[in-house]
C-alpha cells in the first residue's frame, strides 16, 4: 500500500457525496485510494483548503460538484471551478503538477461516474508519481483525518 | 483604495530563502479589499511558500502568518513588536507604505515586499479594479468634468485628445477608453463644453513625484514632537 497514491475528494453533499454512496450501493469496484470529505457545497471550498491538503501531503485532490446549472445554491459550483483554477495556477508556481487537482461535475444519480472519476484520478496521479511533499503512510492517513476533523469543526461552527 | 497584487511565488522564495524564520504580515485595510494581502491571502501564500521551499529542499525555513489591521500606522504595528524578535525576516503583504512602515519600525529586521503595489483605484466589477488617481497632489478634476486627464489619458494631455484616439478608444489598448473622449462626453452632458475653448496652462508637477517625497501636515491635529519627525 505504501506506494499507492492518496487522493482527497472534496464532495458536494447534494451530488458527488450521494453518488459515492450510490457507487457503494451498486457494489461498483474502484481503487481504494480516495478519501471522501463531504461539503455542503463545493463553493465552501476555499483556495487555502485545497493548498492545505497538498501541504499535508496528499498526492491528488478531486473537487466534485453538481452539474453546471444544477447547483443547489445556484452557482456555487461555478465559483468552485474558478477557485480550483486559481489553485492549479498556484501549484504551477510552487512547482507541483497542476494536474494533481481537478474539478468534476456529476449528479447524485451517477454512481458509475463517481467510480470512473476515482479511477481516472488514481491512474493520473500514479503516472505523476507520489507528491514530493508526502510524509510516511501512517502520517498521511493522520493528516487526512485531521483535515476531516477540521472540516467537521468548521461546519459545526457554521450551524451555530 | 490602494490596489496591489501578489508577487510570484518564486520571486518571494528568492527573497526569503536565506532566512530561517520568516513572518508573513498581512494588512487588514486596502489590500484586503482588493484581495491581495488580507488574512485569507496570507494563509494562501503561507501554505504556498512552505510547499515551494520544501520542494527546493529548504523545508527548514519556517514561515508563520499574521495580519494586522493597518500596516501603515505605527500604533497597529505595536501588536507585532513582541513577535518580531523571534523572526529573522518579515515578508509584508501590505502596500509599499506598509512595507516601509514595518522597515522603519524594525530597523534590524529585513522586510521584503510580497505584493506589487499598483495604483489608487476603484472596484469596477467583482474582481476587477481600475486606476483612477495618480496622486499628483494638485487635483484638477473640477476643470475636466470629473475625469482625470493625468490618469486616464495615456499621454497625460491637458488640451484634448492626441491623434491616437479612434472611435473613443486609446491607441495604447483597444479596450481602453480615450480619456479625452470620456471628458468630452461627460462635459457635453453637463453642458460645459465651452470650457475647453481656452488653452489649459501646463500642470505644476512639483506637487507630484517630481517634487520629491511629499508630506501632508495638519497642524491643528499635530502633537509637536511627532510632527517634527522626518
Encode pLDDT of B17-40 as tens digits.
999 999 999 999 999 999 999 999
Chain A neighbors of B54, CB-CB under 8 A: 132-133
B-facing residues of A in 91-110 (CB < 8 A) are 93-96
Alpha-carbon span A54 to B58, nearest angstrom: 17
Does residue B57 surpass a pLDDT of 80?
Answer: yes
**Angle, in degrees to the nearest 10, between helices B74-81 and B96-105:** 60
pLDDT for residue B86 = 96
Alpha-carbon span B73 to B90, nearest angstrom: 17
Alpha-carbon span B101 to B81, nearest angstrom: 13
Kindly state the cell numbers that stand for A159.
450551524
How many Cβ atoms sit within 10 Å of the Cβ of residue A67?
A: 13
Q: Report CB contact under 8 Å: B51, A48.
A: no
Does residue B176 surpass a pLDDT of 80?
Answer: yes
pLDDT band for B177, please (50, 70, 90 cuts): very high
The answer to whether B7 contacts chain A (CB < 8 Å) is no
Beta strand extents in A2-160 (DSSP E only): 7-12, 34-39, 60-65, 101-105
Alpha-carbon span A79 to A70, nearest angstrom: 13
pLDDT for residue B183 = 97
Backbone φ and ψ for A91, nearest 5 degrees, come out as -60, -40
Residue whose C-alpha cell is 476515482 = A118
Chain A neighbors of B56, CB-CB under 8 A: 95
Tell me which chain B residue has its CA closest to the CA of residue A132. B55
pLDDT for residue A27 = 96
Q: Give me the residue from A46, A47, A54 closest to B51, CB to CB.
A: A54
Within A4-75, where are the H helices? 16-25, 47-56
Alpha-carbon span B83 to B81, nearest angstrom: 6
Chain B neighbors of A48, CB-CB under 8 A: 40, 43-44, 47
How many Cβ atoms sit within 10 Å of the Cβ of residue A102?
A: 17
Alpha-carbon span A13 to A72, nearest angstrom: 10
Residue whose C-alpha cell is 490596489 = B3
| Angle of CA points B63, B65, B66, to nearest 5° | 155
pLDDT for residue A2 = 59
Q: Report CB contact under 8 Å: B55, A46.
A: no
Asked if B114 and B92 touch (Cβ cutoff 8 Å), the reply is: yes
Q: Report CB contact under 8 Å: A133, B56.
A: no
Asked if B47 and B89 touch (Cβ cutoff 8 Å), the reply is: no
Asked if A117 and A103 touch (Cβ cutoff 8 Å), the reply is: no
The answer to whether B163 contacts chain A (CB < 8 Å) is no
Concatenating the DSSP letter of every residue in B54-116 gives HHTT-TTSEEEEEEES-TTSHHHHHHHHTTGGG-SEEEEES-HHHHHHHHHH-TTS-EEE-EE
B-facing residues of A in 35-54 (CB < 8 A) are 46-48, 51-52, 54
Kindly state the percentage of chain B with pLDDT values over 90.
Answer: 89
Chain A neighbors of B12, CB-CB under 8 A: none
pLDDT band for B50, please (50, 70, 90 cuts): very high
For A12, the enclosing helix (H) or strand (E) is: strand A7-12
Tell me which chain A residue has its CA closest to the CA of residue B6. A90
Biggest CA pair distance of chain A: 43
pLDDT for residue A137 = 80
pLDDT tens for each residue of B110-137: 999 999 999 999 999 999 999 999 999 9
Does residue B193 sit in helix, strand or coil?
Answer: helix
pLDDT for residue A157 = 82
160 residues of chain A, pLDDT tens digit each: 457 899 999 999 999 999 999 999 999 999 999 999 999 999 999 999 999 999 999 999 999 999 999 999 999 999 999 999 999 999 999 999 999 999 999 999 999 999 999 999 999 999 999 999 998 888 888 998 998 898 888 888 877 6
Amino acid at each position: 500500500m505504501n506506494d499507492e497514491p492518496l487522493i482527497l475528494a472534496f464532495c458536494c453533499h447534494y451530488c458527488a457525496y450521494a453518488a459515492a454512496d450510490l457507487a457503494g450501493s451498486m457494489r461498483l469496484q474502484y481503487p481504494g485510494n480516495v478519501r471522501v470529505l463531504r461539503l455542503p457545497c463545493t463553493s465552501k471550498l476555499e483556495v487555502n483548503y485545497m493548498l492545505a491538503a497538498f501541504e499535508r501531503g496528499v498526492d491528488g485532490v478531486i473537487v466534485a460538484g453538481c452539474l453546471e446549472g444544477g447547483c443547489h445554491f445556484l452557482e456555487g459550483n461555478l465559483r468552485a471551478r474558478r477557485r480550483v483554477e486559481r489553485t492549479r495556477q498556484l501549484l504551477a508556481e510552487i512547482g507541483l503538477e497542476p494536474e494533481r487537482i481537478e474539478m468534476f461535475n456529476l449528479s447524485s444519480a451517477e454512481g458509475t461516474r463517481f467510480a470512473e472519476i476515482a479511477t481516472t484520478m488514481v491512474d493520473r496521479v500514479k503516472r505523476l508519481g507520489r507528491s514530493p511533499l508526502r510524509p510516511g503512510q501512517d502520517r498521511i492517513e493522520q493528516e487526512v483525518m485531521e483535515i476531516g476533523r477540521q472540516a467537521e469543526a468548521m461546519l459545526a461552527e457554521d450551524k451555530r | 483604495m490602494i490596489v496591489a497584487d501578489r508577487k510570484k511565488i518564486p520571486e518571494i522564495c528568492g527573497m526569503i530563502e536565506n532566512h530561517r524564520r520568516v513572518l508573513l504580515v498581512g494588512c487588514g485595510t486596502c489590500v484586503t479589499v482588493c484581495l491581495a494581502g488580507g488574512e485569507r491571502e496570507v494563509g494562501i501564500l503561507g501554505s504556498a511558500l512552505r510547499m515551494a521551499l520544501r520542494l527546493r529542499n529548504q523545508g527548514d525555513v519556517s514561515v508563520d502568518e499574521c495580519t494586522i489591521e493597518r500596516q501603515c500606522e505605527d500604533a497597529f504595528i505595536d501588536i507585532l513588536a513582541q513577535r518580531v524578535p523571534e523572526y529573522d525576516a518579515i515578508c509584508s503583504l501590505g502596500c509599499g507604505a506598509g512595507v516601509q512602515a514595518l522597515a522603519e519600525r524594525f530597523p534590524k529586521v529585513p522586510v521584503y515586499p510580497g505584493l506589487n503595489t499598483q495604483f489608487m483605484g476603484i472596484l469596477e466589477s467583482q474582481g476587477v479594479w481600475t486606476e483612477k488617481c495618480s496622486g499628483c497632489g494638485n487635483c484638477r478634476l473640477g476643470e475636466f468634468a470629473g475625469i482625470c486627464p493625468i490618469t486616464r489619458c495615456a499621454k497625460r494631455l491637458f488640451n484634448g485628445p492626441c491623434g491616437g484616439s479612434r472611435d473613443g478608444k486609446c491607441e495604447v489598448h483597444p479596450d481602453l477608453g480615450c480619456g479625452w473622449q470620456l471628458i468630452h462626453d461627460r462635459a457635453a452632458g453637463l453642458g460645459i463644453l465651452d470650457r475647453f475653448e481656452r488653452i489649459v496652462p501646463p500642470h505644476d508637477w512639483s506637487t507630484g513625484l517630481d517634487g520629491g517625497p511629499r508630506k501632508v501636515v495638519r497642524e491643528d491635529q499635530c502633537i509637536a514632537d511627532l510632527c517634527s519627525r522626518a
